[in-house]
Amino acid sequence: MNWLKLGALALLILVLSQLNRWQVFDKLFFILLGLLLLSYVWSRLSLRGLTVTRRTATDRAQVGDLLIERIRVENSSRFAKLWVELIDHSDLPGHRLSRVIHLGPRDAANWKAQTWCARRGRFRLGPMTLSSGDPFGLFPTRQIVPYVQELVVYPATVDLSGFRLPHGELAGGSSLQRRTPFVTPNAAGVRQYLPGDSFNRIAWSATARTGQLMVKEFELDPSTDVWLILDMEARHHVRATFWGGGQRPSPGEPLPLSFWLDSTEEYAVTIAASLARHFLDLNRTVGLIANARQPVMIPADRGARQMVKILELLAILTADGERPLAEVLISEAGYLTRHSTAIVISPSTDESWVRGLVELAARHVRSMAVIVEPSTFGSAESSLLVVSDLAAIGVPTYLVKYGDDIARALAGQGRAAGVSVMTSA
């Protein structure tokens, strides 16, 4: 440490002054001693009176969003701060908040950090280390600002308004004999209004006829159960061996998909999130099953709360599973009924999982498949045999390749047996 070297030099000068009785050494010793004391006091005061405030507009974001964090460092002391270095320990990729500032007496510094959220997950904003010291660097000092805020970045969602379930895959029948608090196309009758009933369910014609408030009752729509089965088996997922992201846009411009869609895992998760939003916006009932290391199953439901559940889970889901997709299709089949449609999202080139769809078909469960073609990511086998098997058993299939526009790839009808499989240009 520098102060130890200077202290040793002062001690040596003191010894020489006593041996030789040189007055100049005495003066030099006291100068060095005063410098040590002054530097020590300066260092102790360099971080006193500082207040750090950091603020973000939300603790939730989505891939492709621009996160803006504002920070304010205020000096309430009567003494200026010659230099203060702020080192941020946030683990959000690309988040750069660190800098060196100078503060006068009763002064404050304000700035903001703008970061593109290019990775989904749960991240930590903070803590922060303040570093300063004396002008000679003899006594550096540090102080930890322990404030930590959690930020959850949801996966991106793509507008899939062009995606449609094939008409042949819609379950038949007029209604299920189960009442539901949600509005569906199947009106089951009317009843007298009860406290808590939504006003948009009031049957005005029946109200006018009976002279008292009447509300409509609905039954479940048999075509509304959509189950997303997301294959997270680790051995089938690959990362792109090349990058086509292009130049990073300036703040204010949207971040292109290519900045985060760099693996089959990210494609699969983005497709699952987009399909969930698409069907929930249509007031369909959506459930999610994934074969990650910790098995995932979100019961089928509808509404904004269900979308939040799915996004919260997909934000932290990783392709670390060991359980084969074929086993999942068989073991989790109990959640699916003849009024369900299963949409399998997978990069797997293992043909065994196709037999799982055959067993689902034997139970009158309709199914579709979205294949993320792993061979287009640089180094993996082709899924051509899997796509052929799916076409042979009449499962509508969509093929998504690296660099494809997901909305365009999933627009239109997936093809079944006897017709070429849907691919994107």
CATH number of the structural domain spanning residue 63: 2.60.40.10
Is residue 211 very low, low, confident or very high in pLDDT (cuts 50, 70, 90)?
confident
Q: Say if 362 falls within a structural domain.
A: yes
Q: Say if 303 falls within a structural domain.
A: yes
Condensed to tens digits (0 to 9), the pLDDT of residues 297-337 reads 999 988 999 999 999 999 999 999 999 999 999 888 888 88
Region 165-184 average pLDDT: 52
Kind and range of the H or E run holding 121 = strand 121-125
Condensed to tens digits (0 to 9), the pLDDT of residues 16-52 reads 666 676 667 667 777 777 778 888 888 889 999 999 9
DSSP assignment string, 234-267:
GGG--B-SS----SPPPTTSPPPGGGT--BHHHH
Q: Say if 164 falls within a structural domain.
A: no
Q: Say if 263 falls within a structural domain.
A: yes
Q: Say if 335 falls within a structural domain.
A: yes
Q: How far apart are CA 158 and CA 206, in angstroms?
A: 42
Q: What is the pLDDT of residue 89?
A: 94
Residue 16 class from Cβ within 10 Å (0-12 exposed, 13-18 middle, 19+ buried)?
middle
Same domain assignment for residues 252 and 339: yes
For the chain, percent of residues with pLDDT exceeding 90: 48
Q: What does the CA dihedral 291, 294, 298, 299 come to, rounded to 10 degrees? A: 90
Same domain assignment for residues 295 and 212: no
Q: How far apart are CA 199 and CA 243, in angstroms?
A: 53
Same domain assignment for residues 398 and 259: yes
Same domain assignment for residues 242 and 97: no
Same domain assignment for residues 282 and 394: yes
Amino acid making up residue 280: L
Of 148, 104, 143, the closest CA to residue 125 belongs to: 148
Query: What is the CATH number for 251?
Result: 3.40.50.410
Same domain assignment for residues 242 and 149: no
Same domain assignment for residues 28 and 56: no
- Angstrom distances, CA of residue 197 to CA of 153, 192, 200, 203, 208: 35, 10, 9, 12, 18
Is residue 222 very low, low, confident or very high in pLDDT (cuts 50, 70, 90)?
low
Q: Say if 171 falls within a structural domain.
A: no
Domain count within the chain = 4
Same domain assignment for residues 75 and 192: no
Q: Range of 41's domain?
A: 2-45
Same domain assignment for residues 301 and 312: yes
Higher pLDDT residue, 339 or 82?
82
Give start and end residues of each alpha helix (H) in 133-203: none
Longest Cα–Cα distance in the chain: 119
Q: What is the pLDDT of residue 84?
A: 95
Same domain assignment for residues 116 and 208: no
Which of 180-184, 282-286, 332-336 holds the top average pLDDT?
Answer: 282-286
Same domain assignment for residues 382 and 263: yes
pTM of the model: 0.78
Region 187-208 average pLDDT: 81
Condensed to tens digits (0 to 9), the pLDDT of residues 59-81 reads 999 998 889 999 999 999 998 99
Q: Say if 230 falls within a structural domain.
A: yes
Same domain assignment for residues 199 and 82: no
Q: Say if 287 falls within a structural domain.
A: yes
Q: Which of 102-111, 189-198, 387-396 has the lowest mean pLDDT?
A: 189-198
